[in-house]
Chain A
Amino acid sequence: MTATLEQTQSDLRRLVNLVQQGEGVVITSQGQAVARLTVVPRATPSPDRQALTDYGVWDSVSEMKFVKVEFPPEQDAGAALVGLMRRGRVTCLRDGTFILPFPALKWLQENRIPHSVLQQLNQDDVTQALRDLLAHPA
């Protein structure tokens, strides 16, 4: 649609709403097209940055929870490890289980990787588990 400069000035909010809904608005002055209202595209982080953003909260949220999971088939464990280790911390334990930040569950579900959640952990649990290993090495 077209709108004169005067119409644009008096009705800018409605025109912006139209643009956001996909309508094109050309602004005219003295019968000539002089400008166009366009939507500003939403900034999309690069894939790597997106991955870090997805899981970047892991270190900054004090109440972040963790989960201990297992993957019945070894093949699924491999797919999970490769996918998650590029997004955040993955701690592997001798019994075949993995400690993951809670948001990793969403990634597992999105990627349809079968898994069982064995335990929910908080930061203290994870720290204690690692300290126990240090105090009582294999």
Chain B
Amino acid sequence: MSHRRYEIYLPTRHNDGSPVGAAEFMATRQELVAQFGACSFFPEAFHGTWISQGQTFEDENVRICVDIEDTLENAAFFERLKPRLRSRFRQLEIWIVSFEIRVV
């Protein structure tokens, strides 16, 4: 069985600058641990700036990391999770990446 790491980058502030509340992170944590048993939050030292429709947004991100089996079911879970995160964190887009990992 191959494995895959999923990384979700979440903002700590909404686009209007107000801080994201603890409830949003706790809800995300709950979804991930209920599905996969564990997840890890990491600070992102880098601040991101991006421009959309003429407006500049600045992100200070947190990265959530989950190492799981590489299955279609798990991939589908993140496909379904993404729109919920967009809504929960009031973002136009949420960056989720995945890549194969090999546990040595």
Contact = CB atoms under 8 A, between A and B. Distances in A.
Contacts of B45: 48, 52
A51 B37 CA distance: 28
B41 interface: yes
Task: Pick from B29, B32, B39, B45 the residue with the most CB of A within 10 Å.
Answer: B29
8 contacts: A52-B45, A81-B41, A86-B62, A90-B40, A91-B39, A93-B38, A133-B67, A134-B68
Per DSSP, chain A at the interface is helix
Contact of B43 (A74, A86, A131): A86
B91 interface: no
B87 interface: no
Nearest to A74: B26
Given A74-B26, A78-B26, A134-B3, A85 B37 contact: no
Interface string A75-99: 1011101101111111111100000
